[in-house]
Amino acid sequence: MRLSLTASVLGLLAFGSMMASPDPVAATKSKMGCDSDTEIWDAALGKCTPGTPKYKRKPADQATKPPAKVTAAAKKAPAAKKAPAAKAPAAAK
């Protein structure tokens, strides 16, 4: 009887904590606590101000651009030669 009562209380607490936790979709805050879509951090004022961010983060699921393909002509072309380094004059003894 006590075990079932304890289990039901713990279950209700777990359920309540799941319901009270913030939704991941609504948690779009920057490091300074600003809404990342409509506010930016103003360091001079020391608070969030309305505006759009200059740089936007890419979503994690968005893939990066694939590397450029190397053409057959570029593969056959010889590599550019480096110019020999000029020797410095010998230091006077």
Tens-digit pLDDT profile for residues 36-51: 888 888 889 899 899 8
Residue 73 lies in a domain: no
What does the pLDDT average to over 9-20? Answer: 81
For residue 24, pLDDT beyond 70: no
Residue 47 lies in a domain: yes
For residue 2, pLDDT beyond 80: yes
For residue 77, pLDDT beyond 70: no
Residue 15 lies in a domain: no
Per-residue burial over 38-58, b = 16 or more CB atoms within 10 Å of its CB, e = otherwise: ebbbeeeeeebeeeeeeeeee
Q: Structurally, how many domains does the chain consist of?
A: 1
CA distance 41 to 47: 6
Read off the pLDDT band of 75 (50, 70, 90). Answer: low
Read off the pLDDT band of 9 (50, 70, 90). Answer: very high
Residue 48 lies in a domain: yes
Residue 32 lies in a domain: yes
**8 A C-beta contact, residue 35 and residue 29:** yes
Q: Note down the domain range covering 41.
A: 24-55
Question: If we measure between CA atoms, which residue out of 18, 20, 22, 40 comes closest to residue 31?
Answer: 40
